[in-house]
Amino acid sequence: MISFKNKLILLFCLSPLISYAIGGRDGKTNNPSYTNWVDPFIGVEIGNTLPGPQLPFGLVRLGPDAAPPNNTTGYRSDKSIRGFSHNHLSGTGGGARYGNILIIPQIGNLNLNPVPSKYNEYAKPGFYTVTLHDKAGDVQCELTAGNRVGMHRYTFFKLNNDETLLLNYSQEDTIHANILLDASSIINMVEAEQTQNTEAAVSIVSDHQIEGSAGFKGGWGGENPYKVYFVATFDRPFSSHGTWKNNIIFNNVSNQSGTNTGAFVEFILKQKEQVQVKVAISYVSLENAHRNMKEVQGWDFAKVRNNADKVWNDYLNLIEVEGGTPEMKTVFYTALYHTFSMPSYLGIDDENPMWKSGKPHFWDFYTLWDTYRTVMPLYTLIKPEKQSAIIQCLLDIYKQKGWIPDAWTAGDYAYVQGGTSADVVIADAVLKGLKGFDVKGAYEAIKKNADSVSDNPYKYGRYQEEYSRFGYLSSNIKNGSSRTLEYAYNDFCIAQVAKTLWKEDDYHKYLKQSYSSLNLFNPDTKFFWSKDTIGKWIPGFSPTFRRPDYWNGPYFYEGTPWNYSTYFPHDMKLLISKHGSNSNFIVFLDTLFNGKHYEMGNEPGFLTPYLYHYAGRPDKSFKQVRELLGDYKVGRLGLPGQDDSGAMSAWYIFGSMGFFPVAGQDVYLIGSPLFTKSTVKLGFGKTFTIIAKNTNNQNLYVQSAKLNGKKWDKCWFIHKDIINGGELVLEMGTIPSEWGTKVPPPSISDLK
What pLDDT score was predicted for residue 167? 56
Other C-beta atoms closer than 10 Å to the C-beta of 622 total 26
What pLDDT score was predicted for residue 548? 78
- pLDDT tens, position by position, 51-98: 999 999 999 999 999 988 888 999 999 999 999 999 999 999 988 899
What pLDDT score was predicted for residue 163? 65
Residues of the chain with pLDDT below 50 are: 1-2, 4-30, 171
Domain ranges, ordered by start, for the chain: 4-312, 318-330+570-752
What pLDDT score was predicted for residue 28? 36
Please state the pTM of the whole predicted model: 0.95
- Which neighbouring-strand residues pair with 105? 179
- HEC sequence for 346-409: EEECCCCCCCCCCCEEEECECCHHHHCCCHHHHHHHHCHHHHHHHHHHHHHHHHHHCCCCCCEE
- Which neighbouring-strand residues pair with 365? 408
Whether omega before 69 lies within 30 degrees of 0, making that bond cis, reads yes
In this structure, are residues 553 and 547 in contact, taking their beta carbons and an 8 Å threshold?
yes
Question: Residue 519 contacts by C-beta under 8 Å, 6 or more apart in sequence?
Answer: 470, 471, 472, 484, 531
In this structure, are residues 430 and 243 in contact, taking their beta carbons and an 8 Å threshold?
no
Quickly name the fold that domain 4-312 has: Beta-galactosidase; Chain A, domain 5 (2.70.98)
In this structure, are residues 180 and 106 in contact, taking their beta carbons and an 8 Å threshold?
yes
How remote is the C-alpha of 693 from its chain's centroid? 32
> Residue 649 and residue 37: Cα distance in Å, rounded?
15
Measured between its terminal Cα atoms, the distance across the chain in Å is: 75
Residue 412 backbone phi and psi in degrees, to 5: -160, 170
> Residue 203 and residue 285: Cα distance in Å, rounded?
15
- Which neighbouring-strand residues pair with 256? 202
The CATH homologous superfamily for domain 318-330+570-752 is GH92 mannosidase domain (3.30.2080.10)
> Residue 498 and residue 500: Cα distance in Å, rounded?
6
What pLDDT score was predicted for residue 683? 79
- The string of DSSP letters for 229-260 reads EEEEEESS--SEEEEEETTEEEET--EEESSS
